């Protein structure tokens, strides 16, 4: 079940209100670090995803990037192009086939592939009272938080999908703390004996209308997890619209480009199309959902019908914003055709067990093609 509420100012009793960075407004400390980083990299433009990750990265990690750039700026720039795979994988929901219900199957080497079970979907809808958690409209869709397409990893190591998904977690650790990223991954891939076999459960599902689901896939809004009660029967989340940008994923932007604030937004615009959501209030009025609105989700049975995972919601809170800021919405879906040839595709970092960015320095260019940068930057010591 759910209870939406309008909150002006503070986020709620015992909770701090949204910070400027929740609204995508960088702190003075972050701006200073980015100014230093740009001067050290000595390039005018970077990929939108690199810029977005720097806007939202852990401050401690951003400081580490600045320190690394003082010694080896080319090493830091080595992540500029590869990191663009992160929002592409996050946005990619999978083929129509994966949205249906299938039994567990085995691939060629006998390894089990996760399957979406009716029970997980049904339990999610039952938990959320058969309503969209945002609008309260009936007949919602049980929507994945962590993308369904990412739960299965092909056993073919030469396949483009294998390379991209192996790189995904490594690239996250370039901008966010290793322990933090490991918690995200462990929630959805809990078995160390089968680290590439995901678990599709009620805790990875949330009820949204078809319209809200579409906005979700395109990074039009993000949900910030606020608090889970001790008995795990009540979860509060906060809604934030995500402004859309004119640049595309393949463009370049200034590292010091100002991000657009989501404060007070009650809709977003993309290509002259206005995207908004309304919710049904107790008095049957239908106000627009606004950045900063808080929603409370409840369950009567945390064991059988668990609430959405805090870890996965936190991951979503970051990557939904990365998707919007990088201009990934509307990017053509990745071609996962299993042709066994990855020579024409960017090769990313295959080892995701190294969280410290400095630990990559001796081998990064063995795995990542040097980016197309001015000749002075390409000369690496």
In the prediction, which pLDDT does 82 show? 95
- Which one-letter DSSP state was computed for residue 285? -
pLDDT band with cut points at 50, 70 and 90 for residue 16: low
Give me the helix-helix angle, 48-56 and 310-326, nearest 10°.
Answer: 140
4 DSSP β-pair partners: 295
Cβ atoms 127, 119 nearer than 8 A: no
66-76: pLDDT as tens digits: 999 999 999 99
Query: Picking from 193-202, 223-232, 304-313, which range would have the lowest pLDDT averaged per residue?
Result: 193-202
- Could you identify the residue written with the tokens 């993309």? 270
With a CB cutoff of 8 Å and minimum separation 6, the contacts of 14 are 227
Burial class for 336, CB neighbours closer than 10 Å (0-12, 13-18, 19+): middle
203-258: pLDDT as tens digits: 999 999 999 999 999 999 999 999 999 999 999 999 999 999 999 999 999 999 99
Of 123, 124, 98, nearest to 113 by C-alpha is: 98
In the prediction, which pLDDT does 123 show? 95
Query: Picking from 42-46, 160-164, 278-282, which range would have the lowest pLDDT averaged per residue?
Result: 160-164
Q: Residue 134 pLDDT more than 80?
A: yes
With a CB cutoff of 8 Å and minimum separation 6, the contacts of 48 are 84, 245, 247, 248, 249, 251, 252, 253, 325, 326, 327
| C-alpha to C-alpha distance for 219 and 6, rounded to whole angstroms | 22
In the prediction, which pLDDT does 238 show? 98
Dmax over CA atoms of the chain, in Å, equals 68
Q: Residue 117 pLDDT more than 50?
A: no
The dihedrals phi and psi of 215, each to the nearest 5 degrees, come to -65, -40
55-109: pLDDT as tens digits: 999 999 999 999 999 999 999 999 999 999 999 999 875 433 333 333 444 545 5
Q: Residue 33 pLDDT more than 80?
A: yes
With a CB cutoff of 8 Å and minimum separation 6, the contacts of 263 are 23, 25, 291, 292
Mean pLDDT of 329-346: 48
In the prediction, which pLDDT does 358 show? 37
Query: Picking from 130-139, 164-173, 340-349, which range would have the lowest pLDDT averaged per residue?
Result: 340-349
Residue 263: Cβ within 10 Å count:
17
Mean pLDDT of 111-119: 51
Question: What is the Cβ-side half-sphere exposure of residue 5, based on CA atoms within 13 angstroms?
Answer: 13
% of the chain residues with pLDDT over 70 = 75
């Amino acid at each position: 079940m759910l209870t939406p509420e309008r909150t002006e100012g503070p986020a709620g009793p015992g909770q701090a209100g949204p910070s400027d960075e929740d609204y995508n407004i960088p702190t003075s400390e972050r701006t200073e670090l980015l100014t230093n980083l740009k001067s050290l990299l000595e390039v005018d433009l970077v990929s939108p995803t690199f810029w977005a990750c720097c806007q939202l990265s852990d401050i401690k990690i951003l400081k580490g990037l600045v320190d690394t750039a003082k010694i080896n700026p080319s090493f830091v720039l080595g992540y500029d192009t590869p990191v663009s795979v992160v929002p592409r994988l996050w946005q990619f929901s999978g083929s129509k086939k994966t949205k249906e219900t299938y039994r567990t199957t085995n691939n060629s080497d006998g390894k089990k592939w996760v399957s979406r079970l009716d029970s997980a979907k049904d339990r999610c809808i039952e938990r959320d009272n058969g309503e969209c958690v945002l609008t309260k409209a009936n007949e919602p869709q049980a929507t994945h938080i962590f993308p369904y397409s990412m739960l299965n990893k092909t056993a073919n190591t030469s396949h483009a999908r294998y390379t991209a998904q192996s790189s995904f977690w490594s690239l996250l650790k370039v901008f966010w703390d290793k322990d933090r990223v490991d918690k995200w991954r462990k929630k959805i891939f809990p078995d160390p004996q089968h680290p590439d076999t995901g678990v599709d459960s009620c805790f990875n599902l949330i009820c949204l209308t078809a319209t809200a689901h579409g906005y979700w896939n395109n990074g039009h809004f993000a949900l910030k997890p606020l608090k889970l009660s001790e008995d795990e029967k009540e979860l509060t989340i906060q809604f934030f619209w995500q402004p859309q940008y004119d640049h595309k994923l393949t463009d370049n932007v200034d590292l010091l480009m100002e991000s657009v604030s989501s404060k007070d937004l009650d809709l977003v615009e993309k290509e002259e199309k206005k995207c908004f959501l309304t919710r049904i209030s107790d008095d049957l009025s239908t106000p627009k959902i606004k950045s900063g609105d808080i929603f409370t989700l409840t369950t009567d049975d945390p064991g059988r019908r668990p609430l959405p995972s805090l870890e996965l919601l936190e991951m979503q809170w970051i990557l939904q914003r990365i998707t919007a800021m990088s201009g990934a919405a509307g990017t053509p879906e990745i071609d996962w055709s299993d042709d066994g040839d990855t020579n024409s595709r960017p090769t990313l970092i295959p080892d995701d067990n190294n969280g410290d960015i400095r630990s990559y320095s001796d081998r990064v260019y063995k795995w990542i093609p040097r980016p197309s940068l001015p000749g002075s930057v390409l000369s690496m010591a």
